[in-house]
Structure formats: C-alpha cells, structure tokens
A and B are shown apart, each in its own frame.
Chain A
Amino acid sequence: MLSPAEWEVLALSLRVALSSVLLSLPPAIGMGWLLARCDFRGKLLVDGLCHLPLVLPPVVTGYVLLLMFGRRGWFGPLLEALGVNLAFDWKGAVLASAVVAFPLSLRAVRLAIEDVDPRLEGVARTLGAGPWRVFFTVTLRLAAPGLWVGALLAFARSLGEFGATITFVANIAGQTRTIPAAIYTYLNQPGGEVAALRLVWISIGLSLAALLGSEWAARRSRRFGNAS
C-alpha cells in the first residue's frame, strides 16, 4: 500500500508529533498554573507572548527559531558546546512543532486548572499536604481531562506543522520531511499526485482521530466538573 519512503514519512511524523507533545506539555502545565492561579505585574504581556505562535505566520516563528537556535544563531555556540544539533535534524522539527503547538495546550491546561476549586487546594493544605503535593495530587489530578485535551490538540497541531519547520530545519527526507512536507514535495514532482493523495488521506484520518479524542476528553472533564 505505502511505499517504504511513505512509511518513513509516517513514522517520522508520529515521532516528531509525540516528542513535541512531551516537550511542550510540561512548560504548558507550569505556565498554565501561573496564569490560572497567580496575579503578577506584566501578566497580560506574558499571556500575549505565550499565545504569539498561534497568530504569527509560521514562517516568522521558523525564522525566529533559526535566528535563535540555528548554527550561527544566538544560542548556536551554546548548543554546539552541549553537542546538540538542531539544524536539518528531526530534533529541530520537534522544537518547531512544540513552539507552534504550545499555545494550544497552554489554553486547555489553563482552563482546566481554572476550573479546579482553589478551596479544594486549601483543604488539602490544612490536611497537611505541602504545595507540591497539593499540586500533583489535587490540582493536576482534577485537571487531568483538560491535560488530555491539551495534549491531543498539540499532537494534532504538530502533525500539521509545516511553515515553521520548513523555515527552521528545511525539508530533508528521513530527518525533517513530515507528512505536510512530503505532500508538498510530491506535489512538486511530476506524477506525485497519487502518493500525495495517500498522505492526504492519512493526514485527515490522524487529525480527525486526535480531534475526536480531545473532544471525548473535554466531555469527560465536563462530566467530572458537574459531579464535583
């Protein structure tokens, strides 16, 4: 059905998308908690900066990443000293996807944490649990369905990531050629439409599954919220 090259594209896409979820979720949880529970000066600005990748043209995001993490970028020497190479590498694709998907998971996580009654956290404190324990056993536990929503949305967004990735780490078979980049490549080849179409169907299927999954998680969280 699929050619070896297409299987490679599919496997790489899934690997990049999963890794980008894992990379973006922890900061989304931290930032989501900060925005949901704390008031501080410049909160609006932080909020805006976090959501910037959602509205920026992806090519701008990719170019900024290149300026920062490219070989001759601001952090280039540091990365080189650490032995990390992002340019033209699948890890660079993960970073690009994670940055683009971050606002989506942040939104879901923040809403989920805002829905947790802070008085439950207060009760847990009076029962002898310290702030970290309360965060993990009460806040995150009750926000869990929202975290799933965020993770699945981020996953779907990562699968579709094209502009930032191709600007930052180009379109290299086996390294950075994910489904969208592969479709783009096939469409530019004579006779590539059939292969492109197969990937289009796969892309639609995967994205739909992720969206349905996140909708299911959102319903679960609402049911949980009503019951509590």
Chain B
Amino acid sequence: MGRKAIPPVRQRIVTLSLRLQRQLSDFCLNVDVVCHESVTAIFGTSGSGKTTLLHLVAGLTRPDAGRVELDGRVLYCSTEATNQPPEARRLGFVFQDDLLFPHLSVDANLRFGYERLAKAERRFEPGQIVDLLEIGPLLRRMPQHLSGGERQRVALGRALLSSPRMLLMDEPLASLDQGLKSRIIPYLRHVRSDLDIPILYVSHSVAEILELTRQVLVLRRGEVLAHGDFFDVARNPEVLPLLDEYGFENVLPVELIHGNEGAARCGEQLLRIPPCDRPAGTRLFIGVRADDIILAQQPPVGLSVRNALRGTITSISAAGATRLVTVDVGHKLVAKITPEAVDELRLAPGGQTWCLMKTHSLRLGPEID
C-alpha cells in the first residue's frame, strides 16, 4: 500500500453555526452558537443534551426548528425546508461505544465509508490512516477480538477514511481506563493538527478536554451556559459546580529532564513527577486534581511535599462552600480551597502564591507531540 505521509496543513478557520431547538422528554434543547475553533469541546453533566446536540448536527435526529451551517453549507434549515440526510452531510461520528460493524473485519470496517466516496473526494488512503493510528496488525481481525482501545482506534479510523468535513465525537474515551485514554489522546491531537479536520468533542472530563483544546461550550439542561476559553468559562460561578461534579483535574504541560528520576520542567520551574522510563526532552501532560493542590504564602519548609510552583493569582471564584483559585504558574492551575483559607492567607487576584503538590498526586498524562 502507498504509505505517503500526510502532508502537514495549515489550520483553516472553521465556522460551524448552530441554531437548534428540540423538545426532549423533560426540557427543551435550545442552542445558538457559532464555533470557530478547530476543536470545540462540549461539556455538560449527563442528561444535559450533549449527545442529542451531536445527533442533531449529524442529521440522525431531526430538530424541531433551527439552522445548521458548516463553512457556508447549509445542512439543515427549518425555514428553507433544507434537511440534508446524514449520508450527504459528510460528518464523521465516533460514538462512546465504538459501534464497529460486528459482521465485518477491521479492514472492511475501515473501508466502509471510504469505498462510498468518489476518488476525487478521498482525502486519505487507508494505508495512511492505518499508519497514523497504528492499527496495521489488526486489519484481518474481527471486531469482537479487539481490546477496547483498539476498537476505538478502528472506529476513529473508519470515520477519518470517510474524509469527513468535521468529526463529531461523543465521549469516545469514556469507556476506556485512564491508561488507554492517555494512549489515545495523542492520536486525537494528530487528527486535530495534522489532518485539518475540525472536531466537536463531547466529554465530561475536564482533563480530557484540556488535553485537546481550550475552547469549551458548557451545556446545562439544554441551554448553553457558557462558551469560550476554558479558563474564562471556568470563572463563571454557574459553571464551576458542573466542572466540580466529576472532579476537577488540571493538566499541566511539562518536559522531562530525567524520566527515571521523575525530574521535569514546567516552564522555568522544576517539578518532581512519578518516575517514568521515557527519554529526556519528552513533553507530556501531568494531571493534578484541584483538590490536591495546597496554596502557601511562602515556599514550604519542613514539609515532605516536593513540588512548589510559584505563580500569580488571576481570579478567585465561589462555588458553594468552596473557593476555586486560579493561579498562573506559566500555565493556569485551579486550586480548590475553603473560604476561611482565602481569608487567612489574604489571597487576592494579582497576589503571589505557591502551589504545593505531592509527587504521587500527579498523574502522568498523554505525551504532547
């Protein structure tokens, strides 16, 4: 098979404009947004209408009213009576369960959409996608003999080979364990940066979203609660409790200095992370839960904690009986503390603080390419 590498492409501006209404069993989904980013994450608790929104965009469910437009093409419009069927929209859908065709081999699954495309419409060859996702050894197997991570990679490959104008991903990693998630995220980052395919990415994991994008749209009971840069959105007092519901995990990009000793660099500052046998210079994400960050007025003395990142407080928001303090340590971190601690330490935006983190509360996340 021809294994021409996929040439790098410049990110073009995507415009997805959504104006949709749909009555659900106990509330009405009502969305009116324009997305310009190459990856927009849709965040919301279960039952907030995230999945329905993706189905409406894909044409699998019909809205009651509204308009869907992707880069100037009208996919649906209730006033013009336009309603492209899903097969004409060319949007790749990746479901939470991979939904591979059980009667087809991996190879035939991958080619299902590809073979329905006219030659001129094919942007990728199967060999390229197989290489990108490293699924070559699986081609002859049947889906039931694949592991969860393998199945999800094949499902992603199948969607990519249909040369979609956009990828719609509905919690594609939710059924995978943490280790597998970290292995798949880099593939998604490749898709985003190498293939020039915009992504709408539904998730309720803050870490997963931050590892892919900063652009987030927050849904609550069918309404758009906030839309924009994650750290701006996160300051919204109505959004915070939602982010907190599944455990707020920060992600911090670091560069390994010495993997086996767990030495890493975050900007100019040093960080002790759990040891890993990856080469020096590897860049990866570190996950740290907002609950696990301690704020201090001075660098620690006589404590076992290894990490103290110095930073500037950018905002303090209230979420019920807790305070979420955003600290810029070269990258933004959110720490969850009590109101009393805020008062006692006299924390205020613009002030300096140290973020203390135990080495073993840090999670080794996916590598950054």
Name A residues whose Cβ lies closer than 8 Å to a Cβ of B: 117, 119-120, 122-131, 133, 138, 141-142, 224, 227-228
Given A120-B99, A120-B101, A127:B60 Cβ within 8 A: no
Q: Which residues on B sit within 8 Å (CB–CB) of A131? A: 85
Q: Which residues on A sit within 8 Å (CB–CB) of B102? A: 142, 224, 227-228
Given A120-B101, A122-B60, A228-B144, A128:B117 Cβ within 8 A: yes
Q: How far is the CA of A129 from the CA of B86 in the complex (A)?
A: 9
CB-based nearest B residue for A119: B99
Do the beta carbons of A130 and B85 come within 8 Å of each other? yes
Q: Which residues on B sit within 8 Å (CB–CB) of A126? A: 58-60, 86-87, 89, 91-93, 159, 162, 168
Q: Which residues on A sit within 8 Å (CB–CB) of B112? A: 124, 127, 129
Do the beta carbons of B95 and A119 come within 8 Å of each other? yes
User: Which of B85, B93, B103 interacts with A123 by CB under 8 Å?
Assistant: B93
CB-based nearest A residue for B86: A125
Do the beta carbons of A127 and B95 come within 8 Å of each other? no
Q: Which residues on A sit within 8 Å (CB–CB) of B103? A: 141-142, 224
CB-based nearest B residue for A124: B112
Q: Which residues on B sit within 8 Å (CB–CB) of A120? A: 99, 101
Main secondary structure of the interface of A (DSSP, over half): helix
Q: Which residues on A sit within 8 Å (CB–CB) of B85? A: 125, 130-131
Given A122-B60, A122-B86, A127:B158 Cβ within 8 A: yes
- Interface mask (B57-91 → A, CB under 8 Å = 1, otherwise 0): 01110000000000000000000000001110111
Q: Is the CB of B274 closer than 8 A to any CB of chain A? A: no
Q: Is the CB of B113 closer than 8 A to any CB of chain A? A: yes
Q: Is the CB of B116 closer than 8 A to any CB of chain A? A: yes
User: Which of A128, A133, A138 interacts with B101 by CB under 8 Å?
Assistant: A138
Q: How far is the CA of A119 from the CA of B93 in the complex (A)?
A: 11
How many residues in B have their beta carbons less than 8 Å from beta carbons of A? 28
Name B residues whose Cβ lies closer than 8 Å to a Cβ of A: 55, 58-60, 85-87, 89-93, 95, 97, 99, 101-103, 112-113, 116-117, 143-144, 158-159, 162, 168
Q: Which residues on A sit within 8 Å (CB–CB) of B144? A: 227-228
Do the beta carbons of A123 and B99 come within 8 Å of each other? yes
* B86, B91, B144: residue with the most chain A Cβ atoms closer than 10 Å: B86
Q: Sample 24 A-B pairs with CB under 8 A, ordered by A number.
A: A117-B99, A119-B97, A119-B99, A123-B95, A124-B101, A125-B59, A125-B87, A126-B58, A126-B86, A126-B92, A126-B168, A127-B92, A127-B112, A127-B158, A127-B162, A128-B87, A128-B113, A129-B112, A129-B116, A130-B87, A131-B85, A141-B103, A224-B103, A228-B143
Q: How far is the CA of A131 from the CA of B85 in the complex (A)?
A: 9
Q: How far is the CA of A206 from the CA of B86 in the complex (A)?
A: 47
Smallest CB separation, B116 vs chain A (Å): 4
Q: How far is the CA of A123 from the CA of B156 in the complex (A)?
A: 12
Given A122-B86, A122-B93, A227-B144, A127:B99 Cβ within 8 A: no
CB-based nearest B residue for A125: B86
CB-based nearest B residue for A138: B101
CB-based nearest A residue for B113: A127
Smallest CB separation, B154 vs chain A (Å): 12
Smallest CB separation, B148 vs chain A (Å): 15
Do the beta carbons of B87 and A129 come within 8 Å of each other? yes
Smallest CB separation, B84 vs chain A (Å): 11
Query: Besides the contacts A125-B85, A126-B87, A224-B103, what 5 more A-B pairs have beta carbons closer than 8 Å?
Result: A126-B58, A127-B116, A127-B158, A129-B87, A228-B144
Smallest CB separation, B185 vs chain A (Å): 22
Q: How far is the CA of A130 from the CA of B84 in the complex (A)?
A: 12
Q: How far is the CA of A106 from the CA of B223 in the complex (A)?
A: 44
Q: Which residues on B sit within 8 Å (CB–CB) of A138? A: 101
Q: Which residues on A sit within 8 Å (CB–CB) of B87? A: 125-130
* A117, A224, A228: residue with the most chain B Cβ atoms closer than 10 Å: A228
Smallest CB separation, B89 vs chain A (Å): 7
Q: How far is the CA of A138 from the CA of B95 in the complex (A)?
A: 17
Q: Which residues on A sit within 8 Å (CB–CB) of B95? A: 119, 123
CB-based nearest B residue for A130: B87
CB-based nearest A residue for B144: A227
Q: How far is the CA of A117 from the CA of B96 in the complex (A)?
A: 14
Q: Which residues on B sit within 8 Å (CB–CB) of A122? A: 55, 58, 60, 86, 93
Do the beta carbons of A125 and B116 come within 8 Å of each other? no
Q: How far is the CA of A107 from the CA of B95 in the complex (A)?
A: 31
Smallest CB separation, B147 vs chain A (Å): 15
Q: Which residues on A sit within 8 Å (CB–CB) of B143? A: 228
Q: How far is the CA of A125 from the CA of B99 in the complex (A)?
A: 13
User: Which of B59, B60, B90, B97 interacts with A128 by CB under 8 Å?
Assistant: B90
Q: How far is the CA of A142 from the CA of B101 in the complex (A)?
A: 9
Smallest CB separation, B160 vs chain A (Å): 11
Do the beta carbons of B60 and A125 come within 8 Å of each other? yes
Smallest CB separation, B76 vs chain A (Å): 14
Q: How far is the CA of A124 from the CA of B108 in the complex (A)?
A: 13
Q: Which residues on A sit within 8 Å (CB–CB) of B93? A: 122-123, 126
* A123, A133, A142: residue with the most chain B Cβ atoms closer than 10 Å: A123
Q: Which residues on B sit within 8 Å (CB–CB) of A227? A: 102, 144
